[in-house]
A and B are shown apart, each in its own frame.
Chain A
Amino acid sequence: MEGLASLPQFLLVGLTLGSIYALVAVGFVLIYNVTGILNFTQGEFCMLGAMLTATFVRSGIHLLPASFLAVATVVLLAVLLERGAISSARKATPLTLIFVTLGAATAIRGIALLIFGTEPYTLPVFQNLRPLQLAGVSVTWASLSALAVVVVVVLLIFFLLERTMAGKALRACMINKLAAQLMGINPQRMSLLAFVLSAAVGAVAGIIIAPITLAVYDMGLMLSLKGFIAATLGGLASAPGAIAGGLLLGVLEALGAGYIGSGYKDVAAFAVLLVVLFVRPDGLIGAIRGERV
């Protein structure tokens, strides 16, 4: 059994993992609040981001242009998905839309298997650098850069939502769709924007997770689900909530894996989701904020 000494190490692992969940959750919350859709392809965006970048790097492209190329490809796919499938089913019930995105996710996974095969891909970055030792905690450059990228992406999202016209329109749509529509905001364009933004964030999350955990064609489903859990923990209503939920989930998982056993990590994550759904459908964070009123 691990003692308290390992706690900082677990926390670091948890925060790294959690920051990736946070990115998935942000994308998920964006789409959910703008369109009312639970988008199961969110995790597939990550998978594609990771697999494509790894493939491009393998073929000799430098990491940075490879990442941009991968993000652009994923965004293009998201546009096709939104225009092709989601907008034709706009009037359908939420249940139908779940199945549509679930189907799209499954199809993407199948095509990924065909293209990439079953072998895990890795992104060879920072492999030669030795981990930093900070107050007894060993910090790999991969997780350090992951945390840095997450911070940058989160700041970027906030800048977009708070400071740009399109972002403000998007936020208005998230808060009250009808009112936004009455103010002349086109919900179809906002839906597209939400998909584009979520795809980009998702792809970035995939790229930063690849050096840490390896990338496999079927990683998307689990990432989607963890993103849902994180978003639900965060109350499903806002980007800050989703980020907090993601970090919380990551830390919980790392502690669970460290102190209870890694086999129960996923059981615990889904049990947490069930408990939150059953006890507080508004999410933990939402509940905390609710008390402020």
Chain B
Amino acid sequence: MQKKWLLVLAVVLILLYPYLLQSTYFRTIGIFIGIRAIVVIGLCLLMGYAGQASLGQAAFFALGAYTSGILTTGYGFSPWLAMPAGISLASLVALVVGWPALKLRGHFLALATLSFGLIVYFLLKQWSFLTGGPSGLTGIPALYVADLRLRTAEYYYLVWMAVAFVAWLSHNIVHSRIGRSLRAIHDSEIAAECLGVDTFRLKLQLFVLSAAYAALAGSLYAHFIRFFSPAAFGFKVSIEFAIMAALGGMASIYGGVLGVATVTLLIEVLRAVVPLVLPAAHAVAAIETTTFGLILVVVFIFLPDGLAGGIQELRNRFNARRTNIVRQAKEAKN
């Protein structure tokens, strides 16, 4: 019951947000949170539920963004057509890469996905004829619905509709036959196999799904920002996605969204505060990087279930203490 109210509260907050904080700056942050949340939800499914690491998620994000960018600027595609094209391409690539990669275990999968991410990043810089090289793509068209151009406020709602859709799909998957079997793989792959779960196939399908999410987010990013360079899709970005998923609590879709919001807001706060304290030009980047690193260390050592898990744990402790107090009171009476 409590959970339901929290969800209602979150939805109301998300809906009112652009009008509570009426500035392009805050709306833009809201859009970025939404775009990243789509990627991170996929990552939560993959890492939190099925226990498979991906340190190359930015590559699929890039495939979505670049497909949209290239097809609309170079070949006159409608953005609404380029978007599914990007999702399809990313899914196909995920299938081809995942086929050998998901046979690897533990850190080897992490290394393989990391390498894949870096290869895509280097190729984006290298294939200038297609990707614009290190300077990237410019002049990507804005989105229109009929004749209405989506400006920041409208774009905000479009992105969050996509987030809601992706979260709904993911929630359904988690609480289904497929979700149970995915969680089973995480806890005991051998037992899952003995129950007849084709673990490899399931992991592969999930990998493809998470790539499709990331590509959708990439397309939304491309048509919002409208110019970008490979720097937006480097290793650091893959790690940021992983941090967001981990911080929120990987085994929770809503935790993932919470993690995205926390990290994104933290970055903005640092950008505002650090220059006041440390005047050096690179101080912001330095503090940001250090903070990210420390978050990773602290979360993985002390908060393995992330913020969502931490909150749950606190609540459990509180409840336990309350029942203890009640029990003690009863015993005292007797």
Contacts and interface: CB of A to CB of B under 8 A. Distances in A.
Direct contact of A and B (CB under 8 A): yes
Interface of A: 38, 85, 88-89, 92-100, 102-111, 113-114, 117-118, 221, 225, 228, 232, 263-264, 266-267, 270-271, 273-274, 277-278, 281
Interface stretch (B23-31, B191-199, B251-259, B277-285): B277-285
Given A103-B300, A104-B297, A270-B119, A228 B126 contact: no
* Closest A-B pairs by Cβ, 4 of them: A103-B296, A107-B293, A110-B290, A110-B289
A228 B111 contact: yes
Given A263-B126, A278-B100, A114 B116 contact: no
Contact of B304 (A96, A111, A118, A228): A96
20 contacts: A93-B106, A94-B107, A96-B300, A97-B300, A98-B53, A99-B242, A99-B300, A100-B301, A103-B294, A103-B295, A104-B296, A106-B293, A113-B282, A114-B283, A228-B111, A264-B126, A266-B122, A270-B122, A277-B101, A277-B115
Contact of A99 (B123, B282, B285, B296): B296
Given A94-B106, A110-B285, A117-B282, 20 more contacts: A85-B297, A95-B107, A96-B304, A98-B110, A100-B297, A100-B301, A103-B293, A103-B297, A104-B293, A106-B290, A107-B292, A110-B288, A110-B290, A114-B290, A225-B118, A263-B126, A267-B119, A273-B112, A281-B104, A281-B108
A95 B122 CA distance: 25
From DSSP, what is the main secondary structure of chain A's interface residues? helix
Contacts, number: 134
Q: Interface SS of chain B: helix, strand, loop or mixed?
A: helix
Contacts of A106: 239, 289-290, 292-293, 296
B291 interface: yes
A266 B118 contact: yes
A258 to B, nearest CB: 17
B50 to A, nearest CB: 12
Contacts of A278: 100-101, 104, 112
B236 to A, nearest CB: 9
Given A107-B293, A110-B288, A110-B290, A100 B104 contact: no
Q: Which of A105, A106, A111, A277 has its CB near the most chain B CB atoms (within 10 A)?
A: A106
B235 interface: yes
Contact of A225 (B53, B114, B298): B114
B301 A271 contact: no
A100 B286 CA distance: 19
B259 to A, nearest CB: 13
B293 A105 contact: yes
Interface in B264-289: 278, 280, 282-283, 285-289
A220 to B, nearest CB: 12
A250 B286 CA distance: 31
Contacts of B85: none
B286 A113 contact: yes
Nearest to A221: B235
Contacts of B34: none
Contacts of A95: 47, 51, 53, 106-107, 110
B291 to A, nearest CB: 7
Contact of B119 (A93, A97, A271): A271
Contacts of B51: 95
A113 B285 contact: yes
Contacts of A88: 301
Interface in B294-327: 294-298, 300-301, 304
Given A38-B107, A118-B282, A109 B101 contact: no
Contacts of A267: 119, 122-123, 126
Contacts of B285: 110, 113
Given A114-B283, A278-B100, A102 B112 contact: no
Contacts of B47: 95
Nearest to A218: B289
Given A114-B283, A267-B122, A277 B108 contact: yes
A100 B299 CA distance: 9
Given A103-B295, A114-B290, A264-B126, A85 B301 contact: yes
Nearest to A118: B282
B38 interface: no
B119 A274 contact: yes
Interface string B113-149: 0111011001101100000000000000000000000
A100 B296 contact: yes
Contacts of A113: 282, 285-286, 289
Contacts of B114: 225
A273 B126 CA distance: 19
Nearest to A95: B53
A266 B122 CA distance: 7
B115 to A, nearest CB: 4
Interface string B74-112: 000000000000000000000000001100101110111
Contact of B296 (A94, A102, A225, A263): A102
A273 B300 CA distance: 27
Nearest to A274: B115
Nearest to B47: A95
B216 interface: no
Among A92, A103, A277, find the residue whose CB has the most chain B CB atoms closer than 10 A: A103
Nearest to A38: B107
